[in-house]
Chain A
Amino acid sequence: MRLIFILLLTILCAAAVSAQERPQAFVGAQILTISGPPIANGVLVVHRGRIIAVGPSASTQVPAEAERHDVTGKVIMPGLVDTHSHIGGGSGGDGSAPLQPDVRLFDSFDARDSGLKRARAGGITTVNVMPGSGHLLSGQTLYLKLRNANTIDDLLIRDAQGVIAGGVKMANGTNSIRAGGGAFPGTRSKSAALAREMFVKAQGYRDKIRAAGSDKDKLPPRDLGMETLVEVLDGKRTVHFHTHRQDDIQTALRLSKEFGFKIVLQHVSEGWRVADEIAKAGAPCSVIVVDSPGGKIEAINLVMDNGAKLDRAGVLVGFHTDDNVTESRLFLRSAAMSVRAGMSRDKALYAMTMAGARMLDLQGRVGTLESGKDADFIVLSGDPLSVYTKVLETFVEGGRVFDRSRPEDRLIAVGGYGAGRNQILHVHGEEDDQR
């Protein structure tokens, strides 16, 4: 009995390995590459986590050794990029100070959170997970790939030098203002003054480092917060700036200009009122699409056509879930509702994918279906903008991380008893992990 079990396991492992070794060809779907016009009857070939070919079935060579998957009648598009989410329950700074650049979400993220499974079920493959907006600067964010993984380390995105991808979360407006909050600001002007003071200090810290040159004895004492801010000043770390009201948006742009940091405006509820100014500043906007205005004073002018108007003004527009303000499983609604409100189909789908990739500086790896890019894609039952369409499968770097035909995945996608529980994933060698 035991022998049979081991034998079976060996066969399964071998199957998994061979699946990884052989190129996988998805044939017959409509392919929305985002980098070019839709391909009516296309083929997508992936191998060892990368896309090796994509094009019309008639003219695209499928390697002879490739395993073919018939996806006729389905739609394939790049995995979705959620530029602002709170899945994984990560935390940021505590109540001790309004600016805490030393704090990393990295140190509190739960990779087993059911939110990650819901995100995979919604077709999200890349996500910017952030601490909250109750601080002027609540900490460092992480850009993650939603691979099958049980630990945060296996979700990280690293560049060639091994640097972990992520940004910094800042906020202005009411969330980070605390009346009588000690070190916290009580007004908008104080909020801006505190942020400016911090960046001025960081400039001084950077000057000391530059002055020290190669003389290590002259380096200033290590300061985790300052080190992070130097990365921000050097453009190595983007500031994701939570902001709603038009004057707060302009304050964020003013700070970005004064200190020369890269900024992505997050939420931008009143962005439509200052769309030209945002376009002129060249600041990308990560927009949230919700079903109604209100719920807080700063969101009373939130409109469904915010994305459409910003796009028309020439702003790079992406979307986010702010999960659980909106639901990761329904992320495609953001694009569809924006089309309802006047955005073009192409721009809305670009916003769900490549625009987000650009905001996270991952445009070389994700966001479109092109040879050489990561094999992050989703298989849909139909038009991505239809209410009746379902995400059938989600792939990250060639690995299948969601499959609606599996009962345990369907439970997550639809809900039901036990869907909310955190679960440990089966990884490494699971036979249908990689196909």
Chain B
Amino acid sequence: MRRPAAAAFLTLCAVLLASSAALAQVAVRGETVYTMTGPPIRDGIVLIRDGKIERVGPASQVSVPAGYRTLTAKVVTPGLIDAHTVVGLSGYLNQPGDQDQLETSAPIQPELRAIDAYNARETLVGYLRGFGITTIHTGHGPGALVSGQTMIVKTRDGATEPSILNPAAMIAVTLGNAGLAQAGRSPGTRSKAIAMLRTELIKAQEYLAKVETSAADKKPERNLRLDALGRVIKGEIPLLITAHRATDLLSALRIAKEFKIRIVLDGAAESYLLIDQIKAAGIPVIIHPTMARAGGETENLSMETASTLLKAGIPLALQSGFESYVPKTRVVLFEAGAAASNGLSFEQALAAVTISAARILGIDGRVGSLQAGKDADLALFDGDPFEFTSHVTTVIIDGQVVSQEVR
């Protein structure tokens, strides 16, 4: 081949490669495909076109069109969802410069946005992605009465904006000892914390009323903090209330009732003591990691709480939570495995990290199940996804193969 021809050929190849990557048409064939919309499909095929799921069904009914790249696996599931983490804000170095999940300068700071601190290239984001976790609900962590906002984002590398599903998903509240301030500052007691929270929510109600009823020239000055809480008052977003002891969980339910706001219980170690109350209030629970350490406020946690809540019909999702030391994060896939070993059925545990998590997070229109029209987020495994000795073999986000490392 002469040199100009060779160059032209290489250019053509590069163009073809680039375009095939951008508009990947992929067929994933699994010995078992868990769609989460119905029973698992034996020898199933998921067709992916332009980042979305095109078709799902048994190989006997779905043929792979020409030009599709075919990937195979023993087990195929929707991309996993971690319903609560701090990854992306709480970096793996655990040094002051990479811990953006908690600002302790004031006890109530709902105006702090997660998107202003999320680092899509943080090592642990990539680490989770390798284990099939394609969507995370992350943001401000526990540790202050109102620590800030959370966001929902795909674990894709690169710029944050294209991966965002919801830039302001919830506002994080911590009740109990973990939400108290240090060094003699308020809140110093549980009762004080609730008084402060109620005061702030009343302020938001009043602010909102003024904004809505005042004439254009008499609107109150814009207040970022009350803007954020106003969204909660309006029912647009819920409070994510981290609480473990029964006392604190009851306080959370009381707040929800008083202000007629949406809340999601988070952690909830002693929630098994309050099944009737939580169920009657219709509140979902993002339960603590199944294998979380028991101690302090979580000394009474049980690995079977997920099962107890689910049996009562309470909407439930699993999470990796917050780790302050080594390891810097848990992996929600492993926590789901532990749940499947402690009372949940295989599919219940899988739902808690896919479709059920998506519903609680309000993103089930896009992710959480393998259904035509939804985002093509998939995790491929070489065996039972929950077995310690199985591996994640391929991870797909928005139709792109983002990991083929065997993990």
Chain A interface (Cβ within 8 Å of chain B)?
290-297, 299-300, 302, 324-325, 327, 330, 333, 336-337, 339-340, 385-388, 390, 414-421
Of all chain A residues, which has the CB nearest B391?
A340
On whether the beta carbons of B389 and A293 are closer than 8 Å, the reply is no
Asked if B354 CB lies within 8 Å of chain A CBs, one says: no
Asked if B326 CB lies within 8 Å of chain A CBs, one says: yes
On whether the beta carbons of B340 and A388 are closer than 8 Å, the reply is yes
Contacts of B91 in A (CB 8 A): 294
On whether the beta carbons of B300 and A385 are closer than 8 Å, the reply is no
On whether the beta carbons of B388 and A295 are closer than 8 Å, the reply is no
Given A291-B331, A419-B302, answer yes or no on A337-B291 (Cβ-Cβ < 8 Å).
no
On whether the beta carbons of A387 and B294 are closer than 8 Å, the reply is no
On whether the beta carbons of A385 and B388 are closer than 8 Å, the reply is yes
On whether the beta carbons of A296 and B326 are closer than 8 Å, the reply is yes
On whether the beta carbons of A420 and B340 are closer than 8 Å, the reply is no
B162 to chain A, nearest CB (A): 25
Contacts of A299 in B (CB 8 A): 326-327
Is chain A's binding surface mostly helix, strand, loop or mixed? Answer: loop
On whether the beta carbons of B323 and A386 are closer than 8 Å, the reply is no
Asked if B350 CB lies within 8 Å of chain A CBs, one says: no
User: What's the Cα separation between A294 and B331 when bound, in Å?
Assistant: 13
On whether the beta carbons of A421 and B299 are closer than 8 Å, the reply is yes
Contacts of B257 in A (CB 8 A): none
User: What's the Cα separation between A416 and B270 when bound, in Å?
Assistant: 8
B327 partner, pick from A294, A415, A417, beta carbons under 8 A: A294
B333 to chain A, nearest CB (A): 10
Contacts of B167 in A (CB 8 A): none
Chain B interface (Cβ within 8 Å of chain A)?
91-95, 123-124, 127, 270, 272-273, 291, 293-295, 299-304, 323-331, 334, 337-338, 340-342, 386-391
Name the residue among A325, A340, A385, A421 with the largest chain B CB count within 10 angstroms.
A340
Name the residue among A299, A336, A390 with the largest chain B CB count within 10 angstroms.
A299
- 10 additional contacts, CB 8 Å, given A414-B303, A416-B302? A291-B334, A292-B330, A293-B92, A294-B93, A295-B327, A299-B326, A302-B326, A339-B389, A388-B340, A417-B273
Contacts of B331 in A (CB 8 A): 291-292
Of all chain B residues, which has the CB nearest A326?
B327
On whether the beta carbons of A415 and B328 are closer than 8 Å, the reply is no
Contacts of A336 in B (CB 8 A): 388-389
User: What's the Cα separation between A419 and B295 when bound, in Å?
Assistant: 10
On whether the beta carbons of B92 and A420 are closer than 8 Å, the reply is no
A174 to chain B, nearest CB (A): 11
On whether the beta carbons of A295 and B323 are closer than 8 Å, the reply is yes
Contacts of A302 in B (CB 8 A): 326-327
On whether the beta carbons of B342 and A414 are closer than 8 Å, the reply is yes
On whether the beta carbons of A387 and B330 are closer than 8 Å, the reply is no
Contacts of A387 in B (CB 8 A): 337-338, 340-341, 386-388
Contacts of A296 in B (CB 8 A): 94, 325-326
B247 to chain A, nearest CB (A): 14
On whether the beta carbons of A340 and B123 are closer than 8 Å, the reply is no
On whether the beta carbons of A295 and B302 are closer than 8 Å, the reply is no
Contacts of A291 in B (CB 8 A): 327, 329-331, 334
Given A325-B326, A417-B273, answer yes or no on A293-B123 (Cβ-Cβ < 8 Å).
yes
Contacts of B303 in A (CB 8 A): 414-415
User: What's the Cα separation between A327 and B270 when bound, in Å?
Assistant: 20
Contacts of B388 in A (CB 8 A): 333, 336-337, 339-340, 385-387
On whether the beta carbons of B291 and A293 are closer than 8 Å, the reply is no
A225 to chain B, nearest CB (A): 30
User: What's the Cα separation between A284 and B10 when bound, in Å?
Assistant: 53
On whether the beta carbons of B92 and A300 are closer than 8 Å, the reply is yes
Contacts of B325 in A (CB 8 A): 295-296, 325
B127 partner, pick from A292, A330, A419, beta carbons under 8 A: A292
User: What's the Cα separation between A294 and B386 when bound, in Å?
Assistant: 23
**10 A-B Cβ contacts within 8 A?**
A292-B124, A294-B328, A296-B325, A297-B95, A325-B326, A387-B340, A387-B386, A387-B387, A414-B302, A420-B299
User: What's the Cα separation between A123 and B328 when bound, in Å?
Assistant: 26
B328 partner, pick from A295, A340, A414, A416, beta carbons under 8 A: A295
User: What's the Cα separation between A421 and B299 when bound, in Å?
Assistant: 8
User: What's the Cα separation between A418 and B291 when bound, in Å?
Assistant: 17
On whether the beta carbons of B327 and A324 are closer than 8 Å, the reply is no
On whether the beta carbons of B323 and A415 are closer than 8 Å, the reply is no
User: What's the Cα separation between A276 and B300 when bound, in Å?
Assistant: 45
A43 to chain B, nearest CB (A): 28
User: What's the Cα separation between A325 and B328 when bound, in Å?
Assistant: 11
B235 to chain A, nearest CB (A): 34
On whether the beta carbons of B327 and A292 are closer than 8 Å, the reply is yes
Contacts of A385 in B (CB 8 A): 388-389
On whether the beta carbons of A415 and B294 are closer than 8 Å, the reply is yes
